[in-house]
Amino acid sequence: MYNAFEAPPELVTVADPTPTRSGVVIAVEATGLCRSDWHGWMGHDPDITVPHVPGHELAGTVVACGAEVTNWSEGDRVTLPFVCGCGSCPECASGRQQVCRNQFQPGFSDWGSFAEYVAIEYADHNLVAVPEGMGSTTAAALGCRFVTAFRALFDQGRLSAGEWVAVHGCGGVGLSAVMLATACGARVIATDVKSGPLETARELGAEATINVTSYDGDADAIAAAVADAARGGVALSLDALGRPESCVASVLSLQRSGRHVQVGLLLAEESRPAIPMDRVVAWELELLGSHGIQAHRYPALLRLVDDGRVDPSRLISRSIGLNDAPAALAAMDRFEHEGITVIHP
């Protein structure tokens, strides 16, 4: 918990949560440590009020259900998207729970999963059953990084086998995107500022990797290197980092009629970068946002895991206890650890 933005997080004892009529309480077995949690701690998310408990990538067991919950029972092993739909608004009615106007976000709008127990609203519309045989660590690693990458690539980006795709930024979302894209037959170019993540991207199937350090933030030069590697530009490009230069480089690396998907969060003073709209218009490019995933889209991703084409555990680099979480959260801006960190309360 933290009592003020940027104040040292603390491990404290609080009252156990109780479910709302439409909600459940989950005993947390594993939860991911994500850079979005760090952004929240820094005060970049207007939905967060202090005191606050972060954490949104979780898997665990239902231990209590509200009176209106019909699809879930105590003892069910579950995970969930980091954006939960209310189930009753027009967006939810059309299957677009990821942009629900009344959305509930554990770890942002409400207290999250860096805890032994977490309360989750709108359970019938949002919980996802963890397949038998899948460990809680792997289930937690799916969200938000793998599920975010999955929607960005296939639902928003409409990626097809054989297409060139650029992934700008090889953090958790970026490496998840590399793994998913190559598993489905796409040809991947990955960029990053560090050699370690680029080596991992190559191990996951990227055909080309580009260390952009030498370009000193020059988006045009980065885009030219990507386009050259793809022999004329990529069909799809993801900004998985969330910086103005990576956003612009992603757009400029596209071939004509290409598709850019913004995945990384552009926050605070960087939230409105200067997009090269002359290129967008002249080349008829598509600019798309991607915000989480719906619970009903999990089965498609889980099938890739079940048949062995995708293995989220390959990206788990360390496991820590809840007592280590405060320091780990505060240190995320130093990028000392690659891959996914999982917390076991």
pLDDT value of residue 247: 98
Number of domains within the chain: 2
pLDDT more than 70, % of the chain:
100
| Position 15 confidence tier, pLDDT thresholds 50, 70, 90 | very high
| Residue 56: pLDDT over 90 | yes
| Residue 345: pLDDT over 90 | no
Domain identity same for 331 and 262? no
pLDDT value of residue 267: 82
306 falls within a domain? no
262-290 pLDDT, tens digit per residue, is 999 888 889 999 999 999 999 999 999 99
Look up the domain containing 325 and give its range: 24-130+311-344
pLDDT value of residue 207: 98
Domain identity same for 59 and 157? no
| Residue 143: pLDDT over 90 | no
pLDDT value of residue 304: 95
221 falls within a domain? yes
Domain identity same for 273 and 322? no
Q: What would the mean pLDDT of 315-344 be, rounded to a whole number?
A: 90
Domain identity same for 168 and 92? no
4 falls within a domain? no
Domain identity same for 123 and 158? no
Domain identity same for 175 and 230? yes
Domain identity same for 83 and 213? no
161 falls within a domain? yes
Those residues with Cβ within 8 angstroms of residue 157's Cβ, 6 or more apart along the chain or in another chain: 165, 236, 238, 259, 261, 288, 290
Give the domain CATH number at 180.
3.40.50.720
207 falls within a domain? yes
Domain identity same for 250 and 323? no
67 falls within a domain? yes
pLDDT value of residue 336: 75
Domain identity same for 108 and 208? no
143 falls within a domain? no
Domain identity same for 273 and 317? no
Domain identity same for 215 and 177? yes
135 falls within a domain? no
Give the domain CATH number at 78.
3.90.180.10
Domain identity same for 283 and 184? yes
